[in-house]
Structure formats: structure tokens, C-alpha cells
Amino acid sequence: MNHKSSNTVWYMPTINRKDRELLHRHKSAVIWFTGLSGSGKSTLAHAIEAYLYELDISTYVLDGDNVRQGLCGDLGFSDADRVENIRRVGEVAKLLIDSGVLTLTAFISPFKSDRAEVRKHFAQHDFIEVYCQCSVEVCEARDVKGLYKKARSGEIKDFTGISSPYEAPEQAELVINTQALSLDDSVQAVLNLLRDRNLIA
């Protein structure tokens, strides 16, 4: 599907990304957290944001549940709707890094093809995939939102890990075993990667 309007042309701004990064005094990028529901994506993304805030780094977390309250509120959880959900998030993430903000996204994003499609719209150094690795058994035991119970009872259809597949990344920039590592250790693993990429000091 072509999502570009034939009646519009991209307006070249006076102030560009490099200017905005100079204003923020740091570079921008997208840190894309993926994993099963309950694997710790949102918890980790927000913990990292809190740390970066103390370093005066401009950040924003695009969270799966929050995005579905508005931007993607018209979408369900069919395969087609999941594809569109991730496409929209990718487009918003592009705008945010153009604004000079270090952007963190927390989405199940279960399909390899969707994540690959998003990735190809970013320069190689701008997209960092972090796989929050956690077994479905552990995620279901946590069941923080009670979603696995609803999925098992049939109240929720097309639930990732139960009635819909999750395709784990094969070449993520970072894999964090969130069922074995503490939150603090997980945060430090991401921060170390950001330092290696010269995104933070």
C-alpha cells in the first residue's frame, strides 16, 4: 500500500536535524524494544528514560499501550492491523529523531518483516533493536495486566505467544534476558551500548 499522498511535497525545513542535535547537545536515534507482552519492554524503556533525564538528555518513549489510545486507536490486533500499527510508529519515530530526540519505543512488534521494514527507513547507526528475551511461560506467570489469562479463556483473540506468533530477532543489536537479569543490570546493558555508539557520554 502506498501511504504517500500524490498531492503533497516534503517541505525542506530551515532548521534541520543537525541543528536540533546541537541545541540538545546530543545525537538522536531510535532504540526499538521488542519482546513478548510481560517481557519488560516498557519497564526497561521508562527506567532508561529516567536515567537519561538526569543526564539532561532529551528523550521520548513511544509505548505500545499509549499509542493505541490515540494514534492507533482505530486498529485491532489482526495481522494487518499489527503491520499498520508498527508502520505508524516507525513514521512517528522518524519525526522524533529528526527533532533531535533520543527515542525509545516499546512494542511487541512480533513480525520480523515489520521490524525489517521499519529499520530500512533509518540510517544504520540510527536504529538500535533491543530484544527483551523472556519465555512465554515466565511472561504468562507475571501476567501483569491479566492479558494472558484473558487470552487463555478466549476473551482476547490473536494474542502474541498464545494464539499469534512472535518471531524473535536474529540480529538484534542487543539481547537482554529479562527473566535472568535485574532491571538495574538491564538498564546498564542498554546504557553501555549507547555509550559505545557515542549517543551518551
17 occurs within a structural domain: no
CA angle centred on 43, ends 39 and 49, rounded to 5°:
135
Distance CA 176, CA 186 (A): 7
41 with 106: CB under 8 angstroms? Answer: yes
Q: What is the pTM of this model?
A: 0.93
123 occurs within a structural domain: yes
| Mean pLDDT for the stretch of residues 93-119 | 97
Distance CA 69, CA 54 (A): 28
pLDDT class of 3 with cuts at 50, 70, 90: low
Distance CA 4, CA 14 (A): 23
Place of cell 553501555: 192
Q: Annotated active-site positions, please?
A: 109
CATH of the domain at 93: 3.40.50.300
Please tell me which residue, 12 or 53, carries the higher pLDDT value: 53
pLDDT at 10: 81
Q: What is the domain count for the chain? A: 1
188 occurs within a structural domain: yes
pLDDT digits (tens, 9 = 90+) for 31-44: 999 999 999 999 99
Distance CA 82, CA 43 (A): 22
| Mean pLDDT for the stretch of residues 164-189 | 97
Please give the distance of CA 110 from its chain centroid, rounded to a whole number: 11
2 occurs within a structural domain: no
| Mean pLDDT for the stretch of residues 24-28 | 96
15 occurs within a structural domain: no
144 occurs within a structural domain: no
What are 32's strand-pairing partners? Answer: 105, 129
95 occurs within a structural domain: yes
pLDDT digits (tens, 9 = 90+) for 71-98: 999 999 888 999 999 999 999 999 999 9
117 occurs within a structural domain: yes
2 pLDDT above the threshold of 60: no
Please tell me which residue, 69 or 1, carries the higher pLDDT value: 69
150: its cell numbers: 484473558
- What range defines the domain where residue 174 resides? 25-134+165-195
